[in-house]
Chains A and B, each alone.
Chain A
């Protein structure tokens, strides 16, 4: 039986081949690396297409590859409840004013997870309805999960604003 992970990838290559930069299924995790400018189109297709049906955005995170260009990589994990399959979608984001389109319109679960990525990595999400810090406080300076943020760095704890 063909693995649906790769069948979804096959379908994605057929329909949105020009938006894909690379695909692989290392360790059994079907992965598509997409052009960040086409991310929302690809994601909408994956959600709505009858052969994909990825109705759940289970996880959003980022990885900092310091020294590479583009520096950041957004990582999205999709899950299809009716088909019980997973797919990973990745897109690269550059270091200078890192920004990528939000997925809040497609999946409300993206709201908090994108806020977390903004908080910890400093990647902005264009069109996000409520892009505030979520785990750290507003006065915090910098984005601690970036590789160039020293682990020992301390910041003053700011009291409540009012």
Chain B
């Protein structure tokens, strides 16, 4: 700076042409398809050199009318659509919708079902966080940790496949229960895979957490204040990274989360590095919950996994073939599905990205009037301009990664 002043002093005023340099802001389109955004989203960025002056986030490229489709089918037909909201944690989306319907029906599911649901949702959350942290490394050009993350995610998907028969679009949760119980050999296989996941998390930690390049790119970037988070209704790991220990599993416990021992990690600064640390710790907590679920499910022993309520469950096959009432009920259940009492309900669960809520309105018929999904990705993405204004263009990538926008859920 001092040499610059010195030079300026030496130049005669009529030769100093620096004021004539054209330096206007540049508009850069990034996306809708860009290798560093694992999702279809477009940023229109106003740049001053490499500094972000302003940013317009344009979403909607994956809009496929989720709510319209749900409102034109039966209650059951909406469940497979909820799978497609989030390719990483389909089970959590299933769960949010089914529990909202159960709230309308005022159904309490059996204990074994609740533990199975917790088990499945924590495996989902684990897969989601692994993708987020792994992909963030990939987009910062670190291929190896991405492969560790994806290998661990494969293991969680193996466990989901053993549980429900599908790896990604699981369609496991049903209104009033789950599709079926786990196999007797499941706990042993799960423990083996979980040990392997823990090893991979250790490997991941070894190459990433103290990595100089990674820390430099993450520390102090994408900072958001606690007040802004609350004003923008940001939830999930981003809110926890600023030090607010808000977690629906703790604050409004659903299923059996009040009987489970787990911690809610929080950050201090609210930058990308804090978000990374929160996600890593949440993965360890999820594994802790899975351990407890396996022990509990073994203790409970075989039992019903579906509520015994004729409104939502089909009657036993033996009765259908031999009794008129059950035959009629089976016919009604298959052709029109459950009728849900008139009313409205909002039910929120803690998904991997934050509060995933469903607001449902029923007029008492077999077809929903309104299915609203409160999408955490969409709401968490809105304050992105706040996080990157004044930062370098390259900081947009890790910040966007840790918001973890999932196109299917954001655009619905």
Chain A interface residues toward B at CB < 8 A = 26-27, 29, 31, 55-59, 61, 63, 65, 75, 77, 79, 81, 84, 86, 88, 107-109, 111-113, 116, 120, 133-137, 144-145, 151
Partner of B104, one of A27, A59, A65, A133: A27
Asked if A112 contacts B372 (CB within 8 A), the reply is: no
Chain B interface residues toward A at CB < 8 A = 59-60, 63, 65, 67-69, 71-72, 103-104, 106, 230-233, 235, 244, 246, 251-252, 343-346, 348, 355, 357, 359, 361, 369-370, 372, 374, 378-379, 381-383, 411-412
Chain A residues touching B, majority SS = mixed
Distance of A134 Cα from B233 Cα, bound (Å): 18
Asked if B344 contacts A26 (CB within 8 A), the reply is: yes
Asked if B370 contacts A135 (CB within 8 A), the reply is: no
Residues of A within 8 A of B346 (CB): 29, 59, 77, 86, 88
Asked if B60 contacts A137 (CB within 8 A), the reply is: yes
Closest Cβ of chain A: how far from B175's Cβ, in Å? Answer: 16
Asked if B359 contacts A55 (CB within 8 A), the reply is: no
Residues of B within 8 A of A63 (CB): 361, 369-370
Closest Cβ of chain A: how far from B382's Cβ, in Å? Answer: 4
Distance of A58 Cα from B347 Cα, bound (Å): 12
Residues of B within 8 A of A107 (CB): 231-233
Closest Cβ of chain A: how far from B103's Cβ, in Å? Answer: 6
3 nearest A-B pairs in the assembled complex, by CB-CB distance? A109-B233, A135-B60, A135-B63
Residues of B within 8 A of A27 (CB): 103-104, 106, 343-345
* Given A112-B378, A151-B68: A59 in contact with B343 (beta carbons within 8 A): no
Asked if B106 contacts A84 (CB within 8 A), the reply is: no
Distance of A134 Cα from B370 Cα, bound (Å): 20
Distance of A5 Cα from B329 Cα, bound (Å): 39
Which residue of the partner chain B has the closest CB to A116? B378
Distance of A75 Cα from B370 Cα, bound (Å): 11
Asked if B63 contacts A81 (CB within 8 A), the reply is: no
* Given A134-B60, A145-B68: A56 in contact with B359 (beta carbons within 8 A): no
Asked if A144 contacts B68 (CB within 8 A), the reply is: yes
Asked if A29 contacts B345 (CB within 8 A), the reply is: yes
